[in-house]
Amino acid sequence: MAHRVTLIPGDGIGPEVAEATGKVLAATGVEIDWERVELNERLIRETGQSIPKPVIDSIERTRVGLKGPVTTPVGGGFQSVNVGLRKKFDLYANVRPVRTIPGLNTRFADLSLDMVIFRENTEDLYAGIEHEVVNDVVTSLKVITRKASARIARSAFEYARFHHRKKVTSVHKANIMKLSDGLFLRCCREVAAEYPEIAYNELIVDNASMQMVSKPMQFDVLVMPNLYGDIMSDLAAGLVGGLGVVPGANIGDNHAVFEAVHGSAPDIAGRGLANPTALILSSVMMLRHLQELSAATRLQEAVEAVYREGKSLTPDVGGKASTSEIADAIIAKLK
């Protein structure tokens, strides 16, 4: 039986990496009934909506989406497409695995980094509640609730338990924001007490950032509020090759959207230079979500085999291959 999945190619390099990912997924043998919907800067300007109704309707039907990069128009008051999707479908858990890819030459290539960052996705400063008190004086409200804090903590610990991870680290600034981050921290501690087999520790966000770039091998699963998660997940990606090789997922109780977290890179669009790795690895996460575990493992191993071999890599990771050539190389490894 085919899985119904909403495909949002996006704009810029989005359609190119989406096409490459579709070819690779077809080669796994998993049947996917794609429901393609358009979402790009031009359409957003024309409709005046960050997320037009056809996109919402499709994800409501399929409950699973695969999304390429989408450019949110600058100016005009348009809400971020990503923020809009997360709020609309209550995709409260942003999950970002950060792993060393064999053969990719990075500072920590020999350490085999393997961490997963859980970022609360629906509140914190990203609630977007701002107010100009008087001219040139603006406040922005940081919203932290027990409900959101507890469920992201539980998501992190459930993941750790299911995948036999050993430690969960919560990242905070409760020494300064005693009420807001203090509540987040209390929720993490309460949830941690229910998982005695998993080690639990806490780091203040500035120290966690320093530790991330000096001793990243200490991290296993991390959980944090929205703003810290946004910053630290990109920081961690830089240790393993950048946003072009790191997947991402936004998961709620009823819907999930898997996405490349890099930008739309309009300067190289249509030139065959885009690296599809991030979206392909995001599709690995999607396959696991769809319980296609064997196909997910085979695809992960095929990507790593191509990188280990090093003959069919795109320019951003030191090669000369095109978008379609790296996809073809991955397909060859699958076969």
Q: Active-site positions?
A: 126, 173, 206, 230
- Give which of 224, 263, 220 is closest to 12, Cα–Cα: 263
**DSSP conformational letter for 143:** B
CA distances 285 to 62, 84, 171, 250, 281, Å, are 16, 21, 24, 11, 7
C-alpha 52, offset from chain centre: 22
Which residue is it, tokens 């961490």? Answer: 115
Residues 60, 65, 69: CA angle, nearest 5 degrees: 125
Position 245: which residue type? V
- Checking 233-239 for CB contacts under 8 A at 24+ apart, the result is 233/94, 233/96, 233/98, 233/117, 233/119, 233/261, 234/261, 235/209, 236/96, 236/98, 236/115, 236/117, 236/212, 237/96, 237/98, 237/261, 239/98, 239/106, 239/107, 239/108, 239/113, 239/212, 239/213
β-strand 93-99 against 247-251: which pairing, if any?
antiparallel
Q: What are phi and psi of 252, to 5 degrees?
A: -120, -170
Q: Are 93 and 155 in contact (CB under 8 A)?
A: yes
Rounded to whole angstroms, the Cα distance separating 231 from 199 reads 24
Q: What are phi and psi of 56, to 5 degrees?
A: -60, -45
C-alpha 290, offset from chain centre: 17
- The residues near 48 (Cβ < 8 Å, ≥ 6 apart) are none
